[in-house]
C-alpha cells in the first residue's frame, strides 16, 4: 500500500478542498440555503421595475447563477466521489468478511456497463431460482448459475430455521 506524504503540497490542497467541499455540500443541502436562494431571487425580481428590467439587471442574475453553478459542480462532484469510494470500501469489507459471498464482486465498480448488465442477468436468474425453491433461507451462488464448462459446485447452504410451535 502506497504511503501518503502528508507534508506534500498536493496532499494539503486536496485535504483542504475535501474539507471545504464537504462543508459547502452540507450547508447548501439544508433548507435554509434553499430559502436564502429563493428570497435572493425574489429580491432580484422585485427590483426589476426599479432598474427598468435593464440588461445590467438581467446580467447580474445570469452571471451570479452561472458562477455559482460552475463552482458547485466541482464541489458536489468531490463530495460524491468521496462518498462513493467510502460506500464501495464498506461494501468490499462486507463481501470480503462473508465466507458465502463471491469475492469477484469486490471490484465490481470497475467493470464496464456491458459487463455489469451481464452480471445483473445472472442475479436475476438467481432470484428466479430462489423463487422457485419457495424457501426463504435457501442459498444460491453466482457460480451455480455459470453456464458451460465453468460451472462449479455451489457453496455451503445456509442453515434452515426451525419452525416454532
pLDDT(134) > 50: yes
Buried b (16+ CB within 10 A) or exposed e, 75-86: beebbeeeeeee
Choose the weakest-confidence range: 10-24, 92-106, 131-145: 131-145
Contact 129, 143 (CB under 8 A): no
Domain ranges (residues) in the chain: 9-97, 105-150
**108/110 Cα distance (integer angstroms):** 5
- 37-87 pLDDT tens trace: 999 999 999 999 999 999 999 999 999 999 999 999 999 999 999 999 999
> Would you state the pLDDT for residue 61?
95
Residue for grid cell 506534500: 8
Q: How confident is the model at residue 29 (pLDDT cuts 50, 70, 90)?
A: very high
Q: Who's near 101: CB < 8 A, 6+ residues apart?
A: 94, 95
pLDDT(96) > 90: no
Cell of 148: 458451460
Contact 95, 106 (CB under 8 A): yes
pLDDT(149) > 60: no
C-alpha gyration radius of the chain: 26
Amino acid at each position: 500500500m502506497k504511503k501518503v506524504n502528508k507534508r506534500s503540497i498536493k496532499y494539503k490542497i486536496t485535504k483542504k478542498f475535501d474539507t471545504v467541499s464537504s462543508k459547502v455540500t452540507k450547508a447548501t443541502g439544508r433548507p435554509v440555503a434553499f430559502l436564502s436562494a429563493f428570497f435572493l431571487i425574489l429580491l432580484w425580481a422585485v427590483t426589476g421595475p426599479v432598474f427598468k428590467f435593464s440588461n445590467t439587471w438581467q446580467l447580474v442574475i445570469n452571471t451570479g447563477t452561472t458562477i455559482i453553478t460552475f463552482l458547485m459542480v466541482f464541489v458536489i462532484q468531490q463530495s460524491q466521489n468521496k462518498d462513493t469510494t467510502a460506500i464501495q470500501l464498506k461494501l468490499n469489507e462486507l463481501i470480503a468478511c462473508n465466507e458465502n459471498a463471491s469475492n469477484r464482486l469486490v471490484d465490481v465498480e470497475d467493470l464496464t456497463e456491458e459487463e455489469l448488465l451481464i452480471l445483473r442477468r445472472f442475479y436475476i436468474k438467481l432470484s428466479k431460482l430462489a423463487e422457485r425453491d419457495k424457501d426463504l433461507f435457501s442459498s444460491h451462488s453466482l457460480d451455480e448459475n455459470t453456464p458451460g464448462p465453468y460451472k462449479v459446485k455451489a457453496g455451503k447452504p445456509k442453515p434452515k430455521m426451525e419452525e416454532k410451535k
